Every structure is written in C-alpha cells, then in structure tokens.
Structure 1
Amino acid sequence: MISFGGRPAAKDLTARARIRDAALKHFAESGFSGATIREIAKTAGVSPGLVRHHFGSKEGLRRVCDTYVLEALHQFNDRVLQEEAPGDSPLTADDKRALDPFQRYLVSTLIEESEVAAPLFDEMVKMIDRWLVKADESRADPPMVDRTTRAALMVAQTMGIAAFHKHVSRVIGMDVLSDEGDQKVALAMLDIYSHNLISPEYAASAREGMAQTAPTSETSNDDTMERHSDD
C-alpha cells in the first residue's frame, strides 16, 4: 500500500522495499542500462545476492518498480478525483517529498520507452484531464482543441522540467528538484498560468491565419499523387 502522507524511514522498511526504493533512485539517475545490481544493493544495505533472491534479475526489479510507480499514480489520481474540486486539497510537503523519486523515475521511464511508459503517461493525462474539466467550466471562450490533446501537451511540458532539470537549475541558480527549487518552479508556473501570455484577439487572429493555411483533403491528395508520380 502506498501512502502520500509521508514515507517511513529507510530503516523501518523491509529489505525488499529498500531494494525497490534504491532501484527507483538508481534507475532514475543512471537509466536502466547504467544502473547496476551491485550499486542498488549497496544503497539498500543488502547483498547483491539478496537482490537476485527477491527479484531474479535487474529486469525483474524494473518490472516491480514500474508496477509500484503506476500504482502510486493510480492512487494519487483517485485522491484527486475524490476531491469536490481540484485544488481543494493541495499537496503537502510530505506529499511532494514522497512523489519526488517517482517524478525522476517517470522521466527516465518515458525517455527509455519501457513497457509501462504508455500506461504511465496515460495515467498522468487522465489526472490533468480532470483539472481541465473544471477549468473549462469557467472559460469565457470555447477551447480550440479537445481536452485530451491539451492534457497530453500539459503533461509533456510538466515532465520537461524534470527531464531538463539540470539545465533549468543552472539557469535559475537553484536545484529545481530541491524543496526550495520546487517552490520557485511552482510559483513560476502559477504566474504563467494565471496571466495571459497573448491577448484573446491575437489568439483569434492566429487561429484565422492557421485556418487559411491548413491543408485540405484535396491538397493532401494532390501532394500524394505528386510524390507517387516522382517515384
């Protein structure tokens, strides 16, 4: 069972749980190919043999980590869905600390395209989609594209901060994965999302221009025929 009200100290975890948490850390930092059972065992305070005893192989250990992180996202998503309105119960500091290793692992998993990458990404899209339902209710204008597309792009943007955290941290002079850095990023995102970067008039004008240059089925067919004639 995964709890988002804080995690037990490492010494209070079972050996299996310590190995799993150590694997989350090393897979996130070094990637699956770069992490070794020996390093994972050292971090967990166990022998490499015990790692193999519990998980069989490094691949078996990754499958357990994948399942664990996916379950964590399911539980967090369920918690959001149970709220009367998104934002009624913001993440606590303990929640953020508990989610931090998952965030880093998610980035590594999505980049390396493991078997669970698709369901993990889909779960995050569902979570953002839930927030957009409420946001759309208070919009003065109708959305330009469907909610799923917007949710998928928002997930990609959010994960991009973690994926490029070294560069972002270097530019802003603060580790974005630290408590202080997380606070600064959160404030920056609040500022960005609460203020229009472009005016509604500019957006309408840009949309009209895109409509005029959008490819039609007729032009697409012509392009296809031209390519075939060149072959």
Structure 2
Amino acid sequence: MQDSPSQAPRTGRPALILASSSRYRRELLERLRIPFETAVPAIDETPHPGETPEATALRLAAAKARAVAAALPAGASRALVIGSDQVATFDGRQIGKPGTHERALEQLQAMRGRDVLFHSALSVLDTATGQTDTVDVVTKVRFRDLPDAALDAYLRAETPYDCAGSAKAEGLGIALLEAIESDDPTALIGLPLIALTRMLLAAGYPLLETQA
C-alpha cells in the first residue's frame, strides 16, 4: 500500500484508491488483503442547511471519491476510488466528531439510554467510465445508561475524539453499548465491507481470484 495514488498495480487489476485519511477505514480495507493506495480528499465537510443525515453522508462520500479521481494525472490507468462518510444522528440532530474531551462527554451524556442511528455512506467511482455507485448503510445503536464517572473513564482510556458519536465499537467503546442492529458489522467502524465487496465485484474487481 502506498500513501498517494500513482498507477495501477502490475497484477492487471484496476488501481484501488481509498479517498480517506482515516486510519480506521484503512485498517478495515486491509482486511480484504488486496493492494490499495490512499489519498486525502480536499473537500468541505460542512452539512448543508436543512440536509438530512443520510443526504449529508451520501453527498460527502461521493464528493470524496470525485475529488481524489479529479486529482489523478491525465492518462492514468483505470482506478476504482472509494469514498466513505459517516454521520450519526438522534432526535433529528447530526452528531459529528467531538474533537475534545469536553464535547465527547457531552455527546455521551446526551446519548445514554437512547437509540442513535449511524449513516455509513459508501461511494465507488470507476475512473474508466465515470460511473459512481453509492449506498447508505444504517446502523442502529442503543447506548447504555451509564453514570458520568463511567463515561469520563472511558474517554480518558480510549480518547475517541476523532470518532462520530465518541465511542469505538471495535474497542472499549463496546462497553457503552446495549445493542447494535445492522446488516453490515463493519459499517459502524466506518467502512461497510459487505457493501464494498459487493460493489467491487460488480465493477469487475477480482477479489477472490489468484493473480499472476
């Protein structure tokens, strides 16, 4: 894996580019054991006024893929560019990355004992055709009703300040959750792999074929 897009791998498969700076998405994509590169998309991630959480997530996932595809050099070999974005919401409000301990604690206090929806949008852009496939995978999470001291202890142990909703389900954050309902277990972490593998196979990417 390389840090920036260059050219298609010598296997003959199209280049695979993850349009994200997230280490969580990178680690998830590594589970597929396929070569890929990463590139950071330069886009404004501010939600539009009146935009639904689903619309925000889908728009940003597609925008990330388009931004990275547009930055590829002229004449570059075919690539599949993966964009992803996640928006958490409850009571009709969008919940972003807290950034600080204080804001994370406020998020967890507001969500305890409540159901929260996580919209994990995925977009795959084929640079050969310009076609984009997008999907929104929704995960319903019920948070436990825990005291402030427990929430504070969790935040100090795991510092999940770069995670929407302030809880890492793949780590200690699972202790904050009462239940998770989803068709794709990796969606909550940030990259829905069931949806992604379906989209890559539909685009002709040989996920399970031995390459010479």
TM-score bracket for the superposition, by shorter chain length: under 0.3
Higher relative contact order (CA 8 A, sep 6+): 2
Looking at CA atoms only, which structure, 1 or 2, has the larger radius of gyration?
1
TM-score under structure 1 length normalisation: 0.24
